[in-house]
Amino acid sequence: MAINPFTMFIFDLFIISAIIIIAYTCNFYYLAFLSRKRKDVLPTIDLGTPSITIQLPIYNEKYVAKRLVDAVCNMDYPKEKMSIMVLDDSDDETVELVKNVVNDYKEQGFLIEHVRRGTRDGYKAGALKHAMQTTDSEFVAIFDADFIPPTWFLKRAIPHFSKSNIGLIQCRWGHVNENYSTITQAQALALDFHFLIEQKAKSNSHLFMNFNGTAGIWKRECIEDAGGWHTATLVEDLDLSYRAQMKGWKCVFLPDIVVDAELPAQMNAAKRQQFRWAKGSIQCAVKLLFDITVKRKVAVEAKIQAFIQLTRHIVFPLMLIQFLALPILLAGQVNLYVISFLPVITIAVYLVMGPGAYLVIMQGMYHKSWKSKAKILPALLVYNAGLSVNNTVAVFDAVLGKKNEFLRTPKYGIITKDDDWRDKAYNLPFSQTTLLEIFFGVYGIMAIFISIFSNNPIFVPIIGLQTVGFFYIAYMSLSHTRFQRNKSSDNHVMTKNEKMAKIIYKLSMIGIIGIIVFGGFMAITGYNTDIYPLDRMRGHLDGIIGSSDPAAIRAHLVAIQEDLNIVMENPNLLETTNTNGEVISKNPVWVFPTDSTNFIRIQNDVNFMLTGVEKISAVPKDSSAYHTGMMDVSDRALQLRINIMDATPYMYVSAPNVLYSVIWVVAILAIFTALKRKKEQLKEADELGV
C-alpha cells in the first residue's frame, strides 16, 4: 500500500527513534551482564590515617546542615588528620546556624572552618574550586547537604586506594527516606539501577565511570592533575571524573559502602534535580566527546560507552517523537506490528525488552528481596515516562546553549512518613513544563481513541503508560506547589500577600482542571465528527476490497455515502466554485490542495462505483464481464482508501482546531503568568523584609 510523503516522513522518524532507543536499552542490558561478572571483593591496603579534607558545599540548607556537620564530626578518625570545610554560599538563616555549629565543634578541638566566599559564582563547582586553593591534604572527601556519612566511613573507604593510579573512590548512595512515598520509592529504584548496574559494571575496568558529586573521596593530586573543578557545566562531578580518566587515573565504585541520603519528596524538586542532570550530561558531551574520541590511549569500547553515557538523555526527546508519531501512523493505517499477522507479538516484544528484562536484572541486584522491589517497577515506568517532557526541555536547553543556572534541590530533613515538608521553606511551584505535560497527556487520550478506532488496540497499553505518566507528573507538580517564603521561620504567620497567593493558587488549580476537561471534551467531540467518519469509510473500503458479493459491496458503498454526507457538512473544508457558482471542491487541505483529497470527487467516485455495482449484479457471475467489473471496483476502492488516508492528517490540523489549540494554550499560559506574578511579589516582599 502506498504511503503519502508526510506519513512516510513520520514513519521514518518513528523507526529511527525506535532503533536509537533500542540501542541505548540494549547497552544497559550489556552493562547488567558486565556487572554480574565483576568481583564484589576489592583489594585494600593499610594506608594508616592519611590527612584528609572533608568539603561540605551547602546553599540554604537550614533543615539538614547541622545533621551533616554532626555526622562528619562523629566519624571515627583522628581529629588532627581530618580537616572539615563547610563551604557555605547561603543567604538565609543557614549562615547563622552553621556558624554556631562550627564554633561549637571548634571548641571541641576539631579542625573545622566556616568558608564564606561572598559570592555564588560557579555555584557548587565554584565553591569547590575556591576551597582547593587552601587544601593541602592527601585526600579530599565531598558530601552534599542531604547525606549522612556513617562513623566508620573513612576507615573503610580509604584502604581501597590500593593502587597508585586510583584517583577516586565512589560509594553507593543509600536512601534514608525511601519508603516515604511512591515518588521516593521510584527514585530509589532508579538510583539503585545506576549504582548496582552501571557503576558496578564500569568500576575498576577500562570503561569510564563518573563521580556522582558526593559520597566519594578524591586524591588531591588527581583533582589537580585533571585540571581542577570547572564551572562550564551543571555537572562538575561528571566533567572532572572524565577528565581524570582521560589522564590515566582510575575510578573505583564500592557497592558495599553505603552512605544514606535524603531523596526529594516534592515532585517539583525531583524534576529540578533530573533537569540538572540531563542538561549537564549533554553539556559534558559537547565539552568532552571530541577529546575522548581522539585520545589514543582510550580503548574503543571506553569511547563508545562514554558517548552512550554522555548522550543517553537524548532518549527522552526520542520517546516524545515516538509518542507524537504513533497516533498519526495508526490513523494512516501504517502497519507497525513486529510480525504483521501476529499483533500480539508486538506487545510481547515490548514486555520482554522492558519490564521483563528489568525483573531479571532486579533478581541479580536484590537477590532474595527482589520481589518486594519489583512492586515498585510499574511506578518507576510511569515516573520515567512522565519525566520525558521535563528532561527533553533540559536536553534542548543544553543543545541550544542556554545560560547555566545551578538550581539546588531543596532538602527538608525528611526521614519518616510522619515528617512533612509542605509548610517548610524552599518549596517550589510548578513550572511552565507542567503545561507541556498536560498537553501530552491530552494528546495521549486522543491517541488511545485513535488506536481503538483504527483497530489497533494492541498499542493502547503502550500509549496509556505514557499518558498516565504525563498526567501523574503534572498532577503531582500542581498538588505539590506551595508558595512558602524562603526566609520565613517555621512558625511564621501568613501575611495578606501569602493568603492572596493561596487563594490565587486554588483558583488556578480549578481553572487548569476546567481547561483540561474542556480540552478533552473538545478533542473527543472533534474526533467523533471529523475523523471517525473517515475511519469508518476506510473500514468499508477494506470490506469492498475483500468482497466479491455485489450486495455486500452495495451496502458498504451506501454506508460510505452516509459518512461522506457527514464529512461534507464540515464548515472547515475549503470550498471552490466554478463560474456558475457551483461548488466543485470541498477540500481539508487549505494550502496547496490537490484533487486527490477533494471530497466532492470522492463522492462522485463512490456514486460511479455504486452504479457499476448495480450493472455487475445483472451480469452472470461466471462471465468475464463480471470478473472485470469486480476487479475495477476493487481497484477503485483501493485508490479511494489512499485518498482518504491522504486527507485524514489535514482534518486534524484544520484552522478551527489550530485556533482552539492556541486558545487552550493561551488560557493555561495566562494562569501561569498570574501565578508567576504573585510569586515575584512574594519574592520582592522577602527581599524588603515585609
Count of C-beta atoms within a 10 Å radius of residue 594: 11
CB 184 within 8 A of CB 235: no
What is the sign, positive or negative, of the torsion defined by CA atoms of 161, 163, 164, 165? Answer: negative
Q: 365, 197 in Cβ contact below 8 A?
A: yes
Dihedral (Cα; 426, 429, 434, 438), 10-degree rounding = 130
DSSP structural state of residue 334: -
Q: At what angle do helices 624-652 and 5-37 cross, to 10 degrees?
A: 70
Cα dist from 442 to 121, 302, 400, 436, whole Å: 41, 42, 28, 10
Contact 305, 202 (CB under 8 A): yes
Question: What value does the CA radius of gyration of the chain take, rounded to a whole number of Å?
Answer: 31
**Helix 599-617 to helix 550-568 angle, to the nearest 10 degrees?**
160
DSSP letter (8 states) at residue 179: G
Is 89 noted as a catalytic residue in this protein?
yes
User: CA-to-CA distance for 444 and 514, rounded, in angstroms?
Assistant: 18
Partners of residue 85 on adjacent β-strands: 55, 113
Give the cell for residue 630: 469486480
By the 8 A CB rule, do 58 and 147 touch?
no
Which residues are CB-neighbours of 673 under 8 A, at least 6 positions away?
Answer: none
The C-alpha atoms of residue 441 and residue 401 are separated, in whole angstroms, by 28
Judge whether 239 counts as a catalytic residue.
no
* Cβ-proximal residues to 302 (8 Å cutoff; 6+ apart), any chain: 206, 207, 208
- Beta strands of 498-654 (E only): which ranges? 574-577, 583-587
C-alpha cell read off for 425: 521553606
Q: Show Cβ contacts of residue 94 under 8 Å, excluding neighbours closer than 6 positions.
A: 58, 59, 60, 61, 62, 65, 88
Half-sphere exposure of 91 (CA within 13 A, CB side): 7
Between CA 314 and CA 329 the distance in angstroms is: 22
Residue count (the chain): 690
Question: Is residue 373 a contact partner of residue 190, using CB atoms and an 8 Å limit?
Answer: no
The catalytically annotated residue of 88, 89, 530, 563 is 89
Task: Report d(CA 465, CA 451) in Å as an integer.
Answer: 14
| Active-site entry in 192, 237, 239, 530 | 237
**94 CB neighbour count, 10 Å cutoff:** 21
Residue listed under C-alpha cell 498519526 = 328
What's the order of all strands across the beta sheet hosting 139-142? Answer: 111-115, 82-88, 52-58, 139-142, 216-219, 166-175, 250-261, 147-148
Q: Which residues are catalytic, by number?
A: 89, 237
